[in-house]
């Protein structure tokens, strides 16, 4: 019989191998099959997401509880096969002239109760849980609409190594002895499908100089999830205000990766890649606010294991989520760097939850490419 540590190493190696193989098509972008869309943009986008409730990430509301840490790396591109695959999706004819993108994301999440020093099971609080997943996604967009389809395969439980990671941070760096991880959710493979639709409305746009343009955008969206991790329906919207807004559908986050269908949009429409996109080098900056309402039917991290006995709590069926932040972007002819910071507040998610949840987030995205 394979010992636990060996099993975890095999699982980790398998995930890494699948990620490399799955990501390869996203890097092999650029052929002439995109001529019908106008000039195809050959590029790769690498994005790092980091979310945490520590003082360094959330200085005004530090709280080491509930959703306590999340990290992910996403790699996206515009491979030719994404055009063909998007053509088989429902309502594709309604998109008309469109752009497509595909990517992979590898992420890790951790959850804890409020009292992380207690050794025994805290029955009325959030379960301990570590979660590791690999996802693949496909996007299609025109000037005003984006569709996002994502399938995640993962593992919850000790094999996700949440205990080791958090104990290293707290025991080694902070001197806090965490003893409650013996009560974490048990090992269980997971699968989940996410679908999201967004719109982009230009509410105000004005040229403020030769090198900049001011704009206000509204970005409403609807979405849903089905699987063994999450099952919900949601609706919300983002309002952003700034200069030289990028050609995307709002800031990305770990639970909602940014759109990769358009590299950038600086300046006047109609002179770029055949889809009303033009390009202006230099800085761009915007502030944003987002509000979401979610009807939840299942949350693995709150309710506990699906197929094994574990600790869990009854769900609150309706949840509100609020986020605000800023994003700074710098673009040159063949590359773009974007850095974002935000804070998110989530209403109570389970029965007898003592506090709302909150966390801070940093996002770093690097786009590299050229136009054929």
Task: Locate the DSSP E strands across the chain.
Answer: 41-52, 66-77, 99-112, 129-141, 145-156, 188-199, 201-209, 212-227, 230-243, 282-299, 318-331, 335-346, 357-371
Burial 296-330 (b: 16+ CB within 10 A, else e): bebbbbbbbbeeeebbbbebeeebebbbbbebebe
Query: Cα–Cα–Cα angle for 197, 198, 201, nearest 5°?
Result: 155
Cα dist from 84 to 24, 34, 80, 100, 152, whole Å: 17, 11, 7, 9, 21
pLDDT, residue 221, reads 98
The Cα–Cα gap between 47 and 142 comes to: 22
The Cα–Cα gap between 127 and 310 comes to: 9
Which two tokens mark 206? 């004005």
Q: Is 103 exposed, middle or buried (0-12, 13-18, 19+ CB in 10 A)?
A: buried
pLDDT, residue 253, reads 95
pLDDT, residue 269, reads 38
Query: Cα–Cα–Cα angle for 90, 96, 102, nearest 5°?
Result: 60
pLDDT, residue 172, reads 63
pLDDT, residue 29, reads 43
Listed residue (179, 162, 178) closest to 170, CA to CA: 178
Cβ count within 10 A of residue 42? 18
- DSSP helix, strand, coil percent of the chain (3-state; round to 5): 15, 50, 35
DSSP 3-state of 165: helix
The Cα–Cα gap between 262 and 289 comes to: 22
pLDDT, residue 36, reads 40
pLDDT, tens digit only, all 372 positions of the chain:
344 455 454 445 444 444 444 444 444 444 433 434 444 446 789 999 999 988 888 877 766 789 999 999 999 998 888 988 988 888 887 777 888 999 999 999 999 998 888 888 889 999 999 999 999 999 999 989 999 999 999 999 999 998 888 877 766 666 566 778 889 999 999 999 999 999 999 999 887 665 568 999 999 999 999 999 999 999 999 999 999 998 899 999 999 999 998 744 333 333 334 333 445 678 999 999 999 999 999 999 999 999 999 999 999 999 999 999 999 999 887 889 999 999 999 999 999 998 899 999 999 999 887 554
Is residue 107 within 8 A of residue 82, CB to CB? The reply is no
Domains and CATH numbers, the chain: 4-371 (2.40.128.140)
Which two tokens mark 306? 């699906």
Please, what is the end-to-end C-alpha distance for the chain in angstroms?
54
Is residue 361 within 8 A of residue 51, CB to CB? The reply is yes
Which two tokens mark 9? 């190493």
């Amino acid at each position: 019989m394979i010992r636990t540590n060996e099993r975890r190493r095999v699982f980790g190696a398998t995930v890494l191998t699948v990620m490399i193989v799955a990501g390869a098509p996203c890097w092999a972008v650029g052929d002439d099959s995109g001529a019908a869309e106008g000039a195809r943009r050959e590029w790769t986008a690498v994005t790092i997401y980091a979310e945490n409730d520590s003082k360094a990430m959330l200085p005004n509301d530090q709280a080491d509880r509930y959703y306590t840490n999340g990290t992910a790396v996403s790699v996206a591109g515009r491979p030719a096969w994404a055009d063909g695959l998007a053509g088989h999706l429902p309502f594709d004819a309604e998109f008309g002239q469109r752009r497509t993108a595909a990517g992979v994301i590898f992420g890790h999440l951790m959850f804890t109760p409020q009292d992380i020093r207690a050794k025994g099971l805290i029955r009325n609080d959030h379960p301990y849980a570590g979660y590791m997943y690999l996802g693949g996604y496909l996007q299609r967009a025109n000037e005003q609409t984006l569709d996002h389809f994502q399938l995640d395969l993962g593992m919850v439980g000790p094999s996700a190594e949440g205990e080791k990671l958090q104990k290293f941070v707290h025991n080694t760096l902070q001197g806090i002895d965490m003893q409650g991880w013996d009560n974490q959710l048990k090992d269980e493979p997971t699968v989940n499908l996410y679908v999201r639709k967004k719109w982009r409305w230009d509410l105000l746009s004005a040229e403020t100089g030769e090198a900049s343009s001011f704009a206000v955008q509204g970005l409403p969206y609807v979405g849903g999830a089905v699987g063994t991790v999450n099952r919900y329906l949601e609706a919300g919207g983002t309002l952003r205000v700034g200069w030289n807004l990028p050609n995307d559908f709002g800031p990305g986050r770990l639970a909602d990766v940014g759109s990769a269908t358009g590299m950038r949009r600086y300046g006047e429409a109609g002179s770029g890649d055949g889809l009303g996109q033009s390009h202006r080098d230099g800085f761009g900056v915007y502030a944003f606010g987002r509000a979401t309402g979610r009807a939840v039917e299942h949350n693995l991290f709150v309710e506990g294991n699906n197929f094994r006995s574990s600790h869990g709590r009854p769900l609150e069926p309706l949840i509100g989520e609020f986020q605000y932040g800023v994003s700074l972007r710098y673009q040159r002819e063949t590359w773009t760097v974007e850095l974002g910071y935000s804070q998110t507040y989530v209403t109570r998610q389970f029965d007898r939850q003592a506090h709302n949840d909150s966390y801070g987030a940093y996002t770093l995205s690097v786009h590299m490419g050229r136009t054929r």
